[in-house]
């Protein structure tokens, strides 16, 4: 980054494209990767995907999974979340009756966690660590904060490597690290990292409603909520916190609501938001609402400058036009909107280059 620190008072928003730069699976690839990497398949999960989405999940070798069309994580989880919230069941199999759906949902969440973890492990030695480069550029005292829509812990690990304490925006009950359980103390002056759809390293107990911070490896093992030392022994299986964007409103637990509140305050004060690897999809209405609140209810006299860093060489012109327009039509202050020619990788390595942006005229010419 430049000497005058262009990132101060900035919020960096990480979308799926940022994680994709390090080979994390996209939503649409999560189940394919799960079946590619996991040898012992869970019967309930196989039965759910087979019966609900018409898949044939008995192929003998991995290559055949490549040819299957899986539902996205949002679709597979969303159907279950909606049935659970409406207290409805499905016919066809006793496994799909109302009281069995939460079990399938929890297994699905664990499968998604495993898929992300194994995909990132398998690319560990060949991928370039863009999140590490980004974290090395951040300084604790520059008022740079991060909002992430991703479940993976690429940015968490990167900040940890730089010895930056992380403030997730709420207090955890315990920290579980290297087999030890310790009390958690929220860091003073940590880097703010608000993960608005949850995170694989947050383990939630639906019985005592405690949420613990844990390294990724532990979070996917179905750890049970017991810790006599701290007078909790409910033995409930804890699950990672993953809330698909569409179902945010109905099912978000209390601590996630405070993450959203804090994100709003952060954006109302921020001078700029830099959308990295985020395509502003139509479905993310909760995030759009947050951005609109930040634009309208400013806590500073400065308007909110919006930068988009989501370009790559050879990007399809119609994808550029559509993405540009999704942002443009939603934002109120077009003079403060900057759709750059940078990729997330460029941004990590060279910092924000505000001069390198597409103009409205250029986009209009691309339409011809
Ligand atoms: Zn518990």
Query: Does one domain contain both 139 and 181?
Result: yes
315: containing domain: 1-22+128-199+244-368
Asked if residue 228 has pLDDT above 60, the reply is: no
Between helices 254-269 and 285-296, what is the axis angle to 10°? 40
Last residue of a domain, one of 99, 122, 145: 122
- 244 burial (CB, 10 Å; 0-12 / 13-18 / 19+) is buried
In a domain, 284, yes or no: yes
Please indicate whether residue 7 or residue 355 has the higher confidence score (pLDDT).
355
Residue appearing with tokens 């929890």: 106
Last residue of a domain, one of 89, 122, 155: 122
In a domain, 223, yes or no: no
Asked if residue 262 has pLDDT above 50, the reply is: yes
Residue 1's pLDDT is 40
Asked if residue 2 has pLDDT above 90, the reply is: no
Query: Does one domain contain both 54 and 117?
Result: yes
Query: Does one domain contain both 117 and 1?
Result: no
pTM of the model: 0.91
First CA to last CA across the chain, in angstroms? 37
Query: Does one domain contain both 99 and 189?
Result: no
Last residue of a domain, one of 67, 88, 122: 122
Please state, as a whole number, how many other Cβ atoms lie within 10 Å of the Cβ of residue 11.
24
Residue 300's pLDDT is 92
Q: Please give the distance, rounded to the nearest whole angstrom, from the Cα atom of residue 177 to the centre of ligand 1.
A: 18
In a domain, 204, yes or no: no
We report the CATH number of the domain holding residue 363 as 3.40.50.1220
Query: Does one domain contain both 147 and 268?
Result: yes
Residue 8's pLDDT is 67
Please indicate whether residue 91 or residue 27 has the higher confidence score (pLDDT).
91
Q: How many domains does the chain have?
A: 2
Cα–Cα distance between 148 and 160 in angstroms, integer? Answer: 16
Query: Does one domain contain both 159 and 254?
Result: yes
In a domain, 211, yes or no: no
Q: Please give the distance, rounded to the nearest whole angstrom, from the Cα atom of residue 217 to the centre of ligand 1.
A: 20
Asked if residue 218 has pLDDT above 70, the reply is: no
Tell which residue, 146, 150, 132, 142, has the closest CA to residue 13.
146
Residue 360's pLDDT is 92
Give the pairing of strands 272-276 and 10-14. parallel
Q: How far is CA 314 from CA 223, 307, 318, in A?
A: 44, 20, 11
Residue 97's pLDDT is 93
In a domain, 37, yes or no: yes
Q: Please give the distance, rounded to the nearest whole angstrom, from the Cα atom of residue 183 to the centre of ligand 1.
A: 15
Please indicate whether residue 231 or residue 106 has the higher confidence score (pLDDT).
106
Q: Which of 18-32, 98-112, 248-262, 267-281 has the lowest mean pLDDT?
A: 248-262
Please state, as a whole number, how many other Cβ atoms lie within 10 Å of the Cβ of residue 254.
9
Output the average pLDDT for the chain: 87
Cα–Cα distance between 219 and 112 in angstroms, integer? Answer: 12
Query: Does one domain contain both 282 and 192?
Result: yes
In a domain, 216, yes or no: no
Phi, psi of 80 (to 5 degrees): -70, -45
Query: Does one domain contain both 61 and 137?
Result: no
- 173 burial (CB, 10 Å; 0-12 / 13-18 / 19+) is buried
Q: Please give the distance, rounded to the nearest whole angstrom, from the Cα atom of residue 346 to the centre of ligand 1.
A: 44
Q: Please give the distance, rounded to the nearest whole angstrom, from the Cα atom of residue 268 to the centre of ligand 1.
A: 36
Confidence of residue 51 (pLDDT cuts 50, 70, 90): very high
Please indicate whether residue 206 or residue 14 has the higher confidence score (pLDDT).
14
Q: Please give the distance, rounded to the nearest whole angstrom, from the Cα atom of residue 188 to the centre of ligand 1.
A: 27
Q: Please give the distance, rounded to the nearest whole angstrom, from the Cα atom of residue 204 to the centre of ligand 1.
A: 8
Query: Does one domain contain both 116 and 262?
Result: no
Q: Please give the distance, rounded to the nearest whole angstrom, from the Cα atom of residue 234 to the centre of ligand 1.
A: 5
Asked if residue 288 has pLDDT above 90, the reply is: yes
pLDDT tens digits, 121-176: 888 888 899 999 999 988 766 789 999 999 999 999 999 999 999 999 999 988 88
Residue 260's pLDDT is 94
Query: Does one domain contain both 82 and 2?
Result: no
Query: Does one domain contain both 91 and 69?
Result: yes
Query: Does one domain contain both 251 and 339?
Result: yes
Q: Please give the distance, rounded to the nearest whole angstrom, from the Cα atom of residue 227 to the centre of ligand 1.
A: 9
In a domain, 262, yes or no: yes
In a domain, 213, yes or no: no
């Amino acid at each position: 980054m430049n000497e005058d620190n262009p990132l101060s008072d900035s919020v960096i928003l990480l979308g799926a494209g940022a994680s994709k730069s390090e080979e994390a699976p996209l939503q649409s690839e999560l189940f394919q990767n799960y079946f590619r990497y996991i040898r012992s398949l869970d019967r309930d999960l196989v039965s759910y995907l087979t019966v609900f989405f018409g898949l044939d999940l008995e192929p003998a070798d991995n290559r055949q999974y490549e040819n299957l069309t899986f539902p996205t994580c949002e679709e597979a989880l969303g159907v279950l979340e909606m049935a659970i919230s409406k207290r409805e069941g499905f016919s066809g199999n006793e496994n799909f009756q109302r009281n069995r759906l939460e079990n399938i949902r929890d297994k699905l969440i664990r499968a998604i966690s495993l898929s992300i973890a194994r995909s990132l492990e398998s690319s560990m030695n060949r991928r370039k660590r863009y999140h590490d480069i980004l974290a090395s550029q951040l300084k604790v005292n520059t008022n740079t904060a991060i909002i992430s829509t991703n479940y993976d812990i690429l940015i968490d690990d990167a900040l940890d490597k730089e010895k930056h304490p992380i403030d997730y925006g709420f207090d955890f009950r315990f920290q579980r690290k290297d087999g030890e359980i310790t009390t958690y103390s929220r860091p003073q002056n940590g880097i703010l990292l608000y993960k608005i759809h949850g995170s694989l390293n947050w383990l939630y107990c639906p019985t005592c409603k405690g949420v613990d911070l844990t390294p990724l490896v532990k979070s996917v093992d179905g750890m049970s909520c017991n810790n006599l030392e701290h007078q909790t022994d409910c033995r409930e299986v804890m699950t990672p916190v993953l809330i698909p964007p569409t179902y945010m409103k109905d099912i978000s637990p209390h601590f996630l609501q405070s993450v959203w509140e804090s994100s709003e305050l952060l954006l109302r004060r921020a001078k700029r938001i830099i959308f990295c690897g985020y395509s502003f999809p139509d479905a993310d209405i909760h995030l759009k609402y947050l951005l609109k609140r930040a634009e309208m209810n400013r806590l500073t006299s400065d308007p909110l400058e919006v930068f988009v860093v989501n370009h790559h060489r050879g990007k399809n012109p119609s994808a550029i036009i559509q993405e540009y327009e999704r942002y443009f039509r939603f934002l109120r202050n077009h003079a403060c909107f900057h759709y750059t020619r940078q990729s997330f990788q460029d941004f990590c390595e060279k910092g924000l280059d505000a001069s390198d942006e597409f103009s409205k005229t250029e986009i209009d010419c691309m339409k011809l």
